[in-house]
Structure 1
């Protein structure tokens, strides 16, 4: 395997594990990245003007796509589904940060992971 292949595997692991961490382990913990003044992921969605049900839908989607991205290490046919799906959701995250006029750094993780996913997708084409 070439160096690029190893870099893409590393990106898949970084993105996949990070998304799972945010949505499964850190969902009830305050971080500097949360939108508005939210302390939990549910409060963050409230700050965006979004419902708890929508939070569950997005959470399920992000966790599922993160698992698909991790599975794509072994099953490369899944790569575009995981990387482009997460890119779309992360772009939505950036838009809602902009909508509520968050300081720029709160959008940075979503932007960084979106770029990583777009790199993953690009190398798959």
Structure 2
């Protein structure tokens, strides 16, 4: 189980960092509505501008903490719980705007991985 936890930590952590630091302003098939960037996606969801910065900051910090938990195990559950909460919000935003299920799948998969880290391991 330890190796599955490590794999989930790396997958979720690097994926969140990729989305928020590399793919931030690039269109992807997973964006909510017809958004072409994360900032635009937040507008589609009807969220205020400041939430883009807050959520982005929290996701990056928690993704880094999830990876750092490889060396500092006390970071593991708080980081996974925090990301699970934020990813729940991501899934709910896709539901709110009636996106096809496909668009919320990455958030749902990462949410599931975070919950496995917290509760199953």
Distance 2:18 2:55 in 1: 15
Between the two structures, name the one with larger relative contact order (CA 8 Å, sep ≥ 6).
2
1:61 aligns with 2:58: yes
SS for the counterpart of 1:35 is coil
Distance 1:22 1:51 in 2: 20
What stretches of structure 1 move > 2 A for 4+ residues in a row?
A: none
Q: What is the CA distance between 1:122 and its match in structure 2?
A: 1.5
Distance 1:71 1:60 in 2: 16
Q: How many residues align?
A: 121
1:15 matched residue in structure 2: 12
Q: What is the CA distance between 1:123 and its match in structure 2?
A: 3.7
Q: Deviations over 1:65-101 (max 9, x none)?
A: 0011001111111111110000000000011111111
**TM-score scaled by structure 2?**
0.97
2:3 matched residue in structure 1: 6
Of 26, 38, 42, the match for 1:41: 38
**TM-score scaled by structure 1?**
0.94
Unmatched segments (≥5 aa) in structure 2: none
